[in-house]
Amino acid sequence: MTGHRQVTSDRWRLLLVGVVIWIAAAAMSLWFLGVWPKTTTGWLCVLAVGPIAFFVLVAVSELIGAVIGAVPGIRHADRTIEQRTVGEAVSGTRIAYYLVRFLIILVPVFLFSWWLENRVTPVVPGALRAWWLQNFN
């Protein structure tokens, strides 16, 4: 009987941890995606879909980082910096390198988004836009 109680207790703990992680991911989706619900329906949508959207955002950012890291010149520079700073727990060289790498990659992204800004008009159905404005921000 004690073994059954332990299994049931472990399941409840696992369920509680899962719920806490889901709620934390929903909160992070509010922060990172920049939406704020105004209605009960909006809050339910955030609790239901927010964590999924947050994890998709994280997965896409990791994929982009892996693709950028696979570029031959960047891959070589990454290896060189890692070899130079392998014995250091916190390396100013590594921090400076990744900051410069990030800024070099960010400039073309900003230029492309600036160039594309007035050339593409977003297509949002009126009913979806009205629903969004009613429930969010």
Distance CA 29, CA 43 (A): 12
Query: Looking at per-residue confidence, does 46 or 2 come out higher?
Result: 46
Burial of 73 (0-12, 13-18, 19+ CB in 10 A): exposed
- Which one is predicted more confidently, 124 or 136? 136
SS3 for 16?
helix
The structure tokens listed for 53 are: 């959207």
pLDDT score at 125: 75
Split at pLDDT 50, 70, 90, the class of 28 is confident
Average confidence (pLDDT) over 84-106: 85
Closest-CA residue to 65 (of 29, 105, 113, 97): 105
The sign of the CA dihedral 85, 99, 106, 52 is: positive
